[in-house]
Amino acid sequence: MYGAQMEGADRSISILERNNMTLDGIEGLLKTRGFLVFLYCGKCYSLQMLKQNSGYVYRFIDANCSPTQDDSLENLVAHSCLDNGIILRACLNDIFIPSWNSPIWETYQAIRHCVIVYHQEVHFFFHDRSYWICFPSSGHACLNDDSGFQQEFDSATMLFEHARIEGQGLEKIWRYVSVDSC
C-alpha cells in the first residue's frame, strides 16, 4: 500500500490507497473531466487536457512552476518532473487521486494548489471569524474577512506567500482552520 501524509484541519490524514494508474486510465479520466488533480508524496499536481484546433493538448501543472505542455500525453509524462526531480511517468503507479468528498481537499497543500491553478474561491473559519479567498474583476487575489478587511495581491501565489491572519501566514494557521466551502 502507498501511504501519503498531509496535514489537515486539526489532524494528520493518512491515505492508504494505491491507484495503479496507467496512461490509458489517466487519459480516460481526462476525457471525462478535462482535468485531474492528484497527490504524490503529499503534494498536489494537475494534468489537463485542452481541445485546440489541431486536436488535444495536455498540460502538467505544479503550482510552484510554469506549466509544461505537449500534444501527446505519453510525451508529457515522459518529460515532466515532479518537485523532487522524479519523472512523472516513473511514479504513475503511486499517484493518489482523492475522491471529490475527501477531507484532503481541505488541507493547506490542496487548497493552495486549487486556488493558484484554478482560481478556486475558498471560504473558511479561523478563531470564530469568517474569511474567504476570491478573485474580483480586478484580476487580483484577495483575502477578505467578515469585518470588511481585505488584503489584495497581484497573484494567488503572492497571497499564499504574504497574506496574514492575526500576524501569521496561512500555512502556519491552516491546521486550525475549518473550511466551509472550496
Spans of all domains in the chain? 3-94, 119-181
Task: Report pLDDT for 138.
Answer: 79
Is the pLDDT at 70 greater than 50, yes or no? yes
pLDDT tens digits along 143-166: 999 999 999 999 999 999 999 999
Confidence class for position 9, pLDDT limits 50, 70, 90 = very low
Task: Report pLDDT for 182.
Answer: 62
Task: Give the strand order in the sheet containing 141-145.
Answer: 150-153, 141-145, 129-134, 122-126, 178-181
